[in-house]
A and B are shown apart, each in its own frame.
Chain A
């Protein structure tokens, strides 16, 4: 409760207004409401629990520190998902060059130099945290989603896990509605293809 208001039944807009008034409990309510949706989206995008948690934290800090600039004519959920998705996509872009250097740097001519510059493949069963990740993301559908292009992945997750409308997904990703429909259509088709061999 905040000054006699029941935060748990209030709308996002109302809670944001209270947060703009300097009510700390309103900030906490926003985190409580969106921590699982934001974390789930980022986790399925980056597939690493530690990184997902860091990126989720960054997302919330960015959004809540800019709460004064929030305009109520937009949905709060669209705003936070947009920032979360951008954080995940930026991370994937930054990480991409690393995945190309498993054999060592291109200019490495000696064996020693190749070994020194090569990335070590991670043993995913090494720590309990990795085992947990493998269990959480190890189902066929999760593996299939992981193989989708990032933009398809975001669309399908926002649609099916978060139950967002097409126009809201379009607003989150800054894409035309038709493109979102196309992405979801193609993502489903790819998922069907990827899951086909696993059917008995």
Chain B
């Protein structure tokens, strides 16, 4: 290429070309461009948090890191061994206590079922049967009716949730 570095750039100005170029405007992207971009950007952590992270990293690297890791491992092992030794040493009182807690939990659950839940179900069922009988309906027939309605709802739900995907496909194809 011929070296034209010394050429003044405006020597060849043509007023009409210059006017046309000066009249060139800018275009805008579609609305929401800013949000779309920022949605994909990984905003860095604030400086103080990065400082803290770097400090922790510096602690856990090199000789200090190995020393910390070794201390942590020994401490964890000591805690497990101490816990296991205590469990063996005090096994009887621990097992008795655990059994008491488990029994009381099970009996409490049973009591709640027999005193509140089952009577409430029985009472509700009795009331509903009486109400249905007053309307001249059999409870069994009503249950079957409910089953049919639930089935219809499930089929409709399945159809409705599948429909938008098909619609999107059509829109994309025409764009």
Contacts and interface: CB of A to CB of B under 8 A. Distances in A.
B38 A181 contact: no
A191 B5 CA distance: 21
B1 interface: yes
Contacts of A185: 4, 7, 9, 11-12
B28 interface: yes
A188 B14 contact: yes
B27 interface: yes
B174 to A, nearest CB: 9
B166 interface: no
Nearest to A199: B16
A27 B3 contact: no
B9 A184 contact: yes
A28 B27 contact: no
B38 A188 contact: no
Interface stretch (B17-25, B86-94, B126-134, B138-146): B17-25
A53 B12 CA distance: 34
A27 B41 contact: yes
B167 interface: no
Main secondary structure of the interface of B (DSSP, over half): loop
Interface residues of B, number: 41
A7 B47 CA distance: 19
A160 B22 contact: yes
B30 interface: yes
Contacts of B12: 185, 188-189, 192
B160 interface: no
A24 interface: yes
A60 B44 contact: no
B29 A68 contact: no
Max chain A Cβ within 10 angstroms of own Cβ: one of B20, B23, B29, B175: B29
Given A178-B5, A182-B7, A188 B13 contact: yes
Contacts of A39: 26-29, 33
A131 to B, nearest CB: 14
Contacts of B50: 22
A27 B38 contact: yes
Of the four ranges (under 10, 10 to 19, 20 to 34, 35 or more), the interface on chain A belongs to 35 or more
A53 B25 CA distance: 17
Interface string A121-137: 00000010000000010
Given A140-B20, A182-B1, A188-B12, A36 B27 contact: yes
Nearest to B44: A22
Contacts of A127: 175
A52 B17 CA distance: 26
B96 interface: no
Contacts of A43: 27
Contacts of A19: 44
A35 B28 CA distance: 7
A188 B13 CA distance: 8
Nearest to A53: B29
Interface string B44-59: 1111011000000000
Given A21-B44, A181-B7, A182-B1, 8 more contacts: A24-B43, A39-B28, A39-B29, A64-B37, A141-B21, A178-B5, A185-B9, A191-B17
23 contacts: A21-B47, A27-B41, A28-B34, A35-B33, A39-B26, A39-B29, A57-B36, A60-B37, A61-B37, A65-B41, A127-B175, A140-B20, A141-B24, A160-B22, A166-B9, A181-B9, A182-B1, A182-B2, A185-B7, A185-B9, A185-B11, A188-B13, A199-B16
